[in-house]
Amino acid sequence: MSEPTTPAAAAPSSASSLTIDLTGKRALVAGVADDQGFGFAIAKALAEAGATVIVGTWPPALGIFQTLLRRGKMDASRAMPGGGLLEFEKVYPLDAEYDVLADMPEELRENKRYKEHGDTTIDGLVQRLKADFGDEPCLDIVVHSLANGPEVKKDLLETSRKGYLSAVGASAYSNVSLVQRFGPMVRPGGSFLSLTYLAGERVIPGYGGGMSSAKAALESDTRLLAFEAGRKWGHRVNCISAGPLASRAASAIGKIAAMIDYYRENSPIREDVTAREVATLAAFLASPFGTGITGAVLHVDKGYHAMGAAPDRAMGSWRTGE
């Protein structure tokens, strides 16, 4: 008869057993054009965990992004904990508003910021990957860090049909297209991830132009894509709902500083959300520790989403009966 296992023997041998390890994995992060946003932070976190990282960059921003990389202007943010700099395996042009080249208007195809790059559509990126890595699945992680609403500063009542559909197409359907077209290129058990915002669930005045509708669609699609991609390929599909961040892209919304201040003052934890906090969750979801999670919208906002009313003086008087 064997001796009973003691608590000491049953304990993990070391803390390293819970280290996120993405060694041997390859990630595609779509929507990186600078070092300020969530996309860059996620790319860096994945690289820190051992993954090799490819990025897709909007063609009009690609030249500037590559110049900044080449001249070392982003070296401080690219610094890796163990030394050295974050390196991208490939930097590809990508305009995710278009699935195939035939969808892109001729005037845009002939634009000098596009013409030199050839096919910058989602299918064009698929073909570039096949040319560089072969026809066999070559990815493990795909991150959708893309959003655009040309009329985001307009109230929904003032939004045009064109502006509304553009927001939904660029910010939500682009994720459907990524899963659809990259699903076969991702190895079994792959992870797809997108980024949303609370405006998909709650009213955020000033977040207009159809962008709130786009985020709601993105979250709804996450659930259905999780089912379909899970059954078809065994992939997981999740979404992170992040609090406001003062990135360059967020400046298009306007009043981003006021939004950040409001979140901080009215959240259970009175701190600003950081890109790093979003990025580490992304790395977790892509790792073996996240294999049981799919079809989820996970909030990283210091608990703001849980609040039903602002904890101001009026609420204080309700509690005390004053």
Q: Which of the residues are catalytic?
A: 197, 207
Other C-beta atoms closer than 10 Å to the C-beta of 162 total 11
Tell me the one-letter amino acid at 291: T
Residue 190 main-chain phi, psi, to 5 deg: -70, 170
Q: Do residues 241 and 300 make contact, with C-beta atoms less than 8 angstroms apart?
A: yes
What is the C-alpha separation between 89 and 104, in angstroms, rounded? 27
Q: Do residues 95 and 146 make contact, with C-beta atoms less than 8 angstroms apart?
A: no
Contacting residues for 224 by C-beta, under 8 A, at least 6 apart:
none
**CA neighbours closer than 13 Å in the CB half-sphere of residue 318:** 7
Other C-beta atoms closer than 10 Å to the C-beta of 206 total 14
Location of structure tokens 């073996």 = 288
Location of structure tokens 């919304």 = 253
Contacting residues for 307 by C-beta, under 8 A, at least 6 apart:
266, 267, 268
The DSSP call for residue 23 is T
What is the C-alpha separation between 228 and 248, in angstroms, rounded? 34
Q: For residue 56, list its beta bridge partners.
A: 30, 92
